[in-house]
Structure 1
Amino acid sequence: MVPKTWDTNRSKQHPVWLQGYIDSTDKQKQLYKKTLKILILSQIFGGTGLAAGITVGALLAQDMLGTESAAGIPVALLTLGSAGAALLVGRLSQRFGRGPGLAAGFLAGGMGAVGVIIAALINSVVLLFTSLLIYGAGTAANMQARYAGTDLATAKQRATAVSMAMVSTTFGAVAGPNLVDVMGKFAHSIGVPTLAGPFILAAAAFILAGLVLLIFLRPDPLIVSTAIANAQVENRTVQAEQNSESSTINKRGIVVGVTVMVLTQFVMAAIMTMTPVHMGHYGHRLGEVGLVIGFHIGAMYLPSPLTGMLVDKVGRTSTAVSSGATLLASGMLAAFAPADSMVLLICALVLLGVGWNFGLISGTALIVDATHPSIRAKIQGSADVLLALSGATGGALSGLVVAHYSYAILSLSGAILSLLIIPVVVWSRKTVNSDSVLRFPLLSSRPSAPSFSNFFTH
């Protein structure tokens, strides 16, 4: 099957402006740097919108329904909306470019936040839940923006580019919760329920993030990188390593990258979700819980620049193994640390965040390495669907494990599960069989056998 984005009849007829980027490595480098700057700005806004809404979503649902049993619904709806939107954002990006695809996700998230505000005003639970589902599109766009910086990056820059987008999210994620009280007072002053105040900030932040990408992310990095890759194949002037990357989809690489991300996301979400409950059972105050989770979130994003350099210089698979080892240490520490020890709990959750960071960045880089630009965004969108669902599953199952067994059993289970990353990485180092590589129609028309990895390529 010929991918819709691979137009062999038009691939040789590029517009003058696009041909300029194909012919000039200097222009490619300039566009790469410009893309990173725009992504950093949009991610600051995106992180603000994401954190501001999530902070009070559960409280708003509880207030409108009058029961604590509804507190978990907003997170579930956000996750479900994020998973569905990840698929759509990936396909829109593949068809129209990164700018329009990511902007659509952020703008939809902004509209969802507006819907939440209206739902609070008219006290409509149905509108609230529908709007939270749409609001999840902003989360999907915020996560997929990390891929955009890799489009024009060299193989030695890709993880660093991912890390720049991720660390930028941290600034917004820290600012959002700290503005909750301010936005609550502002909302009250204009006749809007106080708990809906942060969603005013979320709406503005998501819409600004979308507009930044839609207006300034030009020329589109995905369109340019696809044209460059096509031209390299056509002219047969690409070097051996680049030719291998641009002419094949390495299915083994895709599966390994996704598996690393999914495992780390599952373990992180499971332990993080139940840590506040565990602390509450042992008399820790809300402020102490917030401190532990704050350290955890910081550890998830702040090490990104260092992780990016490690992945690019030391290697993808080595960092992935480090992710498993770090998560193992986190799970063991969380399981055996005295419940009244704030220091040890903070250490456990910091290790949990760092392990997740290692896994997400190394897994992302593996996926980029394994795909051609002509279908890369679509595959990345499919990968992020599994990422979102794994987090939701981990969070949901964690409650059942703690209810029937204990927090220690949950943590030990997460530690053991993280070890699965090691055999996956060992498997990835084996020689790639011909069945694990799907060649593009330009080079070969041989159909591939159905497999699990076809989920990503079709």
Structure 2
Amino acid sequence: MDLGVAFISQEKIDIQRYIDSPEEIQRLYKRTLWIVVLSQVFGGAGLAAGITVGALIAQDMLGTDSYAGIPTALFTLGSAGAALMVGRMSQRYGRRYGLSGGFIVGGIGAIGVVAAAMTDSIILLFASLLIYGAGSATNLQARYAGTDLATAKQRGTAISIAMVSTTLGAFAGPNLVGVMGKFAESIGVPSLAGPFILAAAAYLLAGTILWVLLRPDPLVISTAINKQVEQDTSSVEEEVEDRRGIFIGAAVMVITQVVMVSIMTMTPVHMRHHGHDLNAVGLVIGFHVAAMYLPSLVTGILVDRFGRVAIAVASGFTLLAAGLVAAFAPGDSLGMLIVALALLGLGWNFGLISSTALIVDSTVPATRAKRQGSIDVWVALAGVSGGGLSGVIAAQTSYMTLSLVAGILSFILIVGLCKVPGRAWKFSWKS
């Protein structure tokens, strides 16, 4: 009992130390960013496996293109449930529990995909992809951990640092498809399951890093600081959420996710039909994933400098360009497909970082993680729709039609954002 009381007392003392010292908060903020960066390097590698070969595994097992979008839909659906779980766990117990748990579950799912490929079990494949989706949800929610202790002027940059670190693993993952395929074959596993061996190891490592190092927990400290400020202030006003800001941020996330996932999912299948080998597919997806994350550091600075809504509009224009290039690029042109998928990744990057900053601006620490998790559920469900319908649309019409439909959605996003009141284009949503 005495040890328990001593532990609780020490925890309170540690929190009070951060409450009393802005310098200590900034030191913890920087340390948290480094931990998130380290975990995201591995998380990015785990994420890339499903993007690169998920559709191809289903195509081989089912023998048709019409259901090639199912793997993306399934692991995105799994990420929806995981986003809710990670958000609620983080709100109740802290980021450390939510994020480490999500990555470990994702790693278990990747192991299941490998087992499914070895046994040629489509049921096990689908079930494992659902579980594997937890890694994707956690990979996205990790970006919020970097903002818990950031000031308003640091939030865009904090999100960027968390995301840009994903580039190393995310770009390496697709380009290791050939290597991992040969390794898989050497141990008696189908070559397409090779990237999921990498994903399992990467997700488990990311979860372990967060569990061991993310102490003290940034969300716990942020919530404690906010409560202390409310107690100390003489004002009777309480900080409240900006529902309009949350809605606009969520809408930008949802639309950019639908556009990105729909084109990305069917590009490997489209390339295969035009004679491209697995290494070429890995190259295109590698450029795509790099464009999703590598520009993040610059994007964060732009978001903090020019405003959340302005960069969200830039996202719409970039995604529109991606849809048009993908639609009219010759199927045998590797260069044009790289350009299209790179634009697709960049547009998604603009949209995600600007909308994430807007959501952080518009929420309060007491409910922030829970709200973030709920929004990520809708984002994941949008990905499910994009991934599931993309195969049907491409099979019934063409890859060109699918890309043009995605471009139209991007245009709708631009029009909607241009109707947002002028004051919301300023640096701070609550200006």
CA distance in 1, matches of 2:40, 2:209: 10
Q: Given that residues 323 and 356 in structure 1 are in contact (C-alpha distance below 8 angstroms), is that contact kept between their aligned partners in structure 2?
A: yes
- Match in the other structure for 1:217: 214
Equivalence map 1:250-265=2 (5 Å): 250-265=242-257
2:167 is matched with which residue: 170, 176, 184? 170
Q: Which one-letter code corresponds to 2:35 in the other structure?
A: I
Distance 1:422 1:120, change over 3 A: closer
Q: Given that residues 182 and 191 in structure 2 are in contact (C-alpha distance below 8 angstroms), is that contact kept between their aligned partners in structure 1?
A: yes
User: Deviation per CA, 1:22-57, whole angstroms, max 9, x where unpaired?
Assistant: 111101000000001000111111112222355444
User: Deviation per CA, 1:333-372, whole angstroms, max 9, x where unpaired?
Assistant: 4444555655444333322221111111001110000000
SS in 2 for 1:374: coil
Q: Given that residues 273 and 398 in structure 1 are in contact (C-alpha distance below 8 angstroms), is that contact kept between their aligned partners in structure 2?
A: yes
Task: Flag structure 1 segments of 5+ consecutive residues without an equivalent.
Answer: 1-13, 239-243, 433-458
Distance 1:202 1:411, change over 3 A: closer
Distance 1:113 1:274, change over 3 A: closer
SS in 2 for 1:163: helix
Q: Given that residues 119 and 127 in structure 1 are in contact (C-alpha distance below 8 angstroms), is that contact kept between their aligned partners in structure 2?
A: yes
Q: Which one-letter code corresponds to 1:116 in the other structure?
A: V
1:315 is matched with which residue: 307, 311, 323? 307
Equivalence map 1:53-452=2 (5 Å): 54-61=51-58, 71-120=68-117, 124-190=121-187, 192=189, 194-236=191-233, 247-279=239-271, 288-337=280-329, 341-429=333-421
**Normalising by the residue count of structure 1, what TM-score does the alignment of the two structures yield?**
0.81
Q: Given that residues 245 and 369 in structure 1 are in contact (C-alpha distance below 8 angstroms), is that contact kept between their aligned partners in structure 2?
A: no
Distance 1:71 1:288, change over 3 A: same
SS in 2 for 1:248: coil
Distance 1:294 1:245, change over 3 A: farther
Q: Given that residues 246 and 372 in structure 1 are in contact (C-alpha distance below 8 angstroms), is that contact kept between their aligned partners in structure 2?
A: no
Same amino acid, percent of matched pairs: 64
CA distance in 2, matches of 1:108, 1:279: 32
CA distance in 2, matches of 1:197, 1:101: 28
User: Deviation per CA, 1:431-457, whole angstroms, max 9, x where unpaired?
Assistant: 89xxxxxxxxxxxxxxxxxxxxxxxxx
Deviation at 1:172, TM superposition (A): 0.9
Deviation at 1:427, TM superposition (A): 4.7
Q: How many residues are matched?
A: 415
Distance 1:99 1:428, change over 3 A: farther
Q: Which one-letter code corresponds to 1:158 in the other structure?
A: R
Distance 1:275 1:107, change over 3 A: closer
User: Deviation per CA, 1:407-436, whole angstroms, max 9, x where unpaired?
Assistant: 44443333332233344434543789xxxx
CA distance in 2, matches of 1:305, 1:266: 24
Q: Which one-letter code corresponds to 2:315 in the other structure?
A: S
**Normalising by the residue count of structure 2, what TM-score does the alignment of the two structures yield?**
0.86
Deviation at 1:310, TM superposition (A): 0.3
Q: Given that residues 107 and 200 in structure 2 are in contact (C-alpha distance below 8 angstroms), is that contact kept between their aligned partners in structure 1?
A: yes
Q: Given that residues 83 and 384 in structure 1 are in contact (C-alpha distance below 8 angstroms), is that contact kept between their aligned partners in structure 2?
A: yes
RMSD value over aligned CA atoms? 3.0
CA distance in 1, matches of 2:133, 2:123: 16
